[in-house]
Amino acid sequence: MKNISRRKFVRNSSILSAGLFLPNNLLVKNIFPNSRKFEILIKNGHVIDGTGKKEFIADVGIKDGKILLIGKINSDDADITIDASGLKVTPGFIDIHSHTDSDLILNPKAESKIRQGVTTEVTGQDGFSWGPLGGPGLQRTLKNFKEEYGEEITWRTLGDFLNDFSSRKFSLNLASMVGLGTIRELIIGYDNRPASEIEMQKMKNEVLKAVDEGAVGVSTGLEYTPGSFASTEELIELCNAAPIKARLYSTHMRNEDNTVLEALDEAIKIAKESSSNLLISHLKVSGKSNWHKADAVLEKIDNAAAAGLNVHADRYTYVAYHTGLDALFPLWARDGGNSKFFERLHDSELLKKMKEHSEKKVTNLDGDWDGVLISSVGNENSEIYQGKTIKKIAEEIGRDCFETAVKIILDSDNRTMMVGFGMEEKSTEKILAHPKVMIASDAGSHAPYPPMNNSIAHPRAYGTFPRAIAKYVKERKICSLEEMIKKMTSMPADKLGLSDRGRLMEGKLADVVVFNFNTIKDKATFTEPHQYPDGIPYVIVNGKLVINNSEHTGAMPGKVIKS
C-alpha cells in the first residue's frame, strides 16, 4: 500500500465521515466528480434496436463507451441529457463498402459521413487497400499521395497503415479489408498473365499476413487492373489462404452490365469453393438493355443462400455510378499499367479498336457521352473539365467525344473520375428491398470546405443513408423503417463479425444515431453535392457525442477495428 501522510489521512477521513450524513448522490458528486451514473442519457426516444424488431419508447443510458441501460430510467444523473421525444434512436450506421481512409488525414472529422449517421467505415474495397504497397505503381502512389496530402507514406504493409491510423485522431471507426489487386500488383505487377507457383505462394502469404495484422476480409475489383487479370482459380486459392475468421470475400464483380449473370456465377463459385462469406459489392444491373436482369440476379442470390452459402450484397441509394474514366476502355488496353496504356493511346490502329469498345460501352451503360460526367481530375491544369460531361467538353474543344476522353486521360495522367448514369429506379428499388441487401455508400469522406470540396463528389458521399430512409422508406415504402435500419446496422455488423456493434443493447459499444423521421432528408445533388443532410441532430461514437444539435463537436473518439 502506498504511504500516506497522517495529515492527508485525517483530512480524507473527515471528508468521508461528513459524507455519511449527506445524500448518496451528493457524496458521489463531491468526492468523485466524474462518477455520475451516466455520461449521456437519451430520454423518451423511439428505440429501433437494429434487429428488425418493432420500435419501442425507452431511455438509453451510456457510460464508459457502452450502453449501460435501456428502459425507463428515472434518474437524471447524467453529464449530458438528450431529449429524444418524437425522435428515433438507432445503432450507428455501418458503411460496409466505403472509400474513407486517407481522407481522414485531411478531414479527421469525417464530416460527410458522420453527419449522415455513419459511425463505422469499412475500407480496402474493390481490390485496393493501403497495404501491402509495392510493385511498379508504388512510386506513382507515393508521388500522388505527397501532392494530395502533403505527407510521406510511412507504411508499406496493411498492418503499418492500421497502426499509423491508430495513432491518429478521427471521429468515426475504421476497419479495412485487404485488396487482392493490391497484392497482385506487389507480387506480379500490371501484367496480364497467370501467377507462377512461387508467386501464388507469395500472394497467399501476403493474404495471411494482412489478416494477422487486422484485415477483416479480402476484396476484389475485377473490372480494374491488375485485379482483373486474376483467374477464378487464383481467387479461390487466395480466399482459401485467409483464416476462417476473416474469410469474407467482398467483390466488385467482373461485370455489372452485359454479362452480370455470368459474373455473379463466378463470385458464387469462388465463395463456395473457398468456403467464404460472400458480399457482392454495390449490386447493380447497368445499362437499359440489362435492367430486366435484376430479377434473375436476385434469384441467383436466393438460390445460393438456399443451398447454404452465406451470401449478401450491398448497394448505394442512387442510380448513377462513380468510377475511373479509364474503366470505359478495354482491359487489354490497360495491360501493363499506365505507361503501356499511354503508349497504346498514341497508336492510331489500337485507338480504332478502343473507340469501338468504348462507344459501345457508353451506349450500353449511359445512353451517350452526355451521360458521362467528369467529377474530378488529378492535376490543376485539368480542373476545367470538372463538372462537365464528355459531350459538353467535346463541343467546347471541337473534338469528337472519344478523342476528348483520351485527351482528358492523358492531360490528367489518368487520374480522372467520372459519374455515369446507367441504372434505373425500378431495378434499384428491387435490389434495395431484397432481404439480403445492405446499404453502403461506395464513397469517401468529404466536406463543403477546402480541400475536401475540390472535386465534384458523388452525392452518395453525403446522402446515402438519409436517402435510404427519406426516399425508400418514407416515399417509396419498399420496406419498413425497422428493416431499413437493420440493413444499416446489425446486418453489416454480423457480416463483419462485429459482435459488439450494430445493435442497441445493454453491454454493446455506444455507437448511436438520433434522427427525426419527419425531417430526415438527403440534400446533395449531382450538380451541388457538397451539402449535409437534414434531420440527424445527434451522433454518438464510442460513447462520445460527435454531432450535437446538428453541429460537429470536434470530438475524435474513432477507433481502428481489427479482425
Q: Judge contact between 127 and 210, C-beta under 8 A.
A: no
Residue carrying C-alpha cell 457502452: 66
pLDDT, average across residues 545-554 = 98
Cβ-Cβ contacts under 8 Å for 103 (sequence gap 6 or more): 110, 444, 445, 446, 452
Q: How far apart are CA 399 and CA 304, in angstroms?
A: 48
SS (H, E, C) 193-217: CCCCHHHHHHHHHHHHHHHHCCCCC
Tens of pLDDT, residue by residue over 166-205, are 999 999 999 999 999 999 999 999 999 999 999 999 999 9
Q: Look at residue 28 and tell me whether its pLDDT is greater than 60.
A: no
Tens of pLDDT, residue by residue over 331-363, are 899 988 999 999 999 999 999 999 999 998 888
Mean pLDDT of all residues in the chain?
A: 91
- What pLDDT score does 47 carry? 98
pLDDT, average across residues 121-138 = 96
pLDDT category of residue 19 using cuts at 50, 70 and 90: very low
pLDDT category of residue 534 using cuts at 50, 70 and 90: very high
Identify the CA nearest to 379 among candidates 67, 39, 148.
Answer: 148
Using CA atoms, how far residue 119 sits from 111, 115, 285, 487, in Å, is: 11, 9, 29, 14
Question: Which three three-digit cell numbers place residue 454?
Answer: 475540390
Indicate whether this model's pTM tops 0.85: yes
- What pLDDT score does 379 carry? 72
Cβ-Cβ contacts under 8 Å for 110 (sequence gap 6 or more): 100, 103, 104, 118, 121, 170, 171, 172, 445, 558
Q: How far apart are CA 83 and CA 95, in angstroms?
A: 27
Residue predicted with more confidence, 144 or 61 = 61
